[in-house]
Amino acid sequence: MTSIPSTLRSKSFRLTAIGVAATTLCVGSAGFVAAANPASAFGQAVGTAVHAAGVDWTHMPEGYTQAQYEAFWAAEYSGEDLIELRALWSLDETEAKSRAGQAILDGEQLPFAPGTFTTPKLPADQQAATAAFLDAGYTSEDVDELSALWDTEFVETKARAGQMVLDGEELPLDAATTSGS
């Protein structure tokens, strides 16, 4: 039989352990979000708070400066441009932004002008259809399956499938892999 003091002690221990785990998850998640977009207000706030707590932490990856980050995006290069630079230079995302940002700071020309590979904005009806597709819980794997079936590219496939969702039609997906319907 368990005594009352040991029951209270084990309950306190469990609550403390849960609190520590929850705090660790929150801090880790905040760090992850801040690292994903270090120049955002949230990323800068996390960096400032962690630094104030005495932790030597930078919100920028090693070898990548805030100036490079700002130069790349201020030059109005797009995410699609970044994908092309990564492929051209065989670099990961951070290295490509670092190299491009430094080139911009040094006054060098990049292999193409900003916005060269930017996808044109979709018309409002296609944006609504794409949103309906995503809101229904379909995944990129579903898009890949439909793209192969319809012989369409990714954006067109999402818009077409989304219109089917809006029209109440069933998508021709393999029931074993479908996550959204």
Residue-by-residue DSSP string for 55-109: ----SS-TT--HHHHHHHHHTT--HHHHHHHHHHHT--HHHHHHHHHHHHHTTPP
**Domain housing 12:** 4-52
CB count in 10 Å sphere of residue 76? 11
Identify whether 161 is part of a domain: yes
Give the pair of three-digit tokens for residue 3.
Answer: 């005594």
Identify whether 58 is part of a domain: no
Residues 156 and 143 in one domain: yes
Residue 174: the pLDDT is 80
> Cα 23 to the chain's mean position, in Å?
23
Residues 94 and 133 in one domain: no
Residue 79: the pLDDT is 86
Taking only the tens of pLDDT, the chain with its 181 residues reads: 555 555 556 666 676 667 666 666 666 655 555 554 555 566 666 666 655 666 655 556 777 888 998 999 999 998 889 989 999 999 988 899 999 999 999 999 999 999 998 877 889 999 999 999 999 999 988 999 999 999 998 889 999 999 999 999 999 998 655 555 4
Show which of 30, 52, 74 is a domain's final residue.
52
Residues 71 and 114 in one domain: yes
Rounded Cα gap, residues 136 and 181, in angstroms: 7
Number of compact structural domains in the chain: 3
Q: Model-level pTM?
A: 0.42
Rounded Cα gap, residues 39 and 59, in angstroms: 8
Identify whether 42 is part of a domain: yes
Identify whether 179 is part of a domain: no
Residue 87: the pLDDT is 92
Residues 129 and 114 in one domain: no
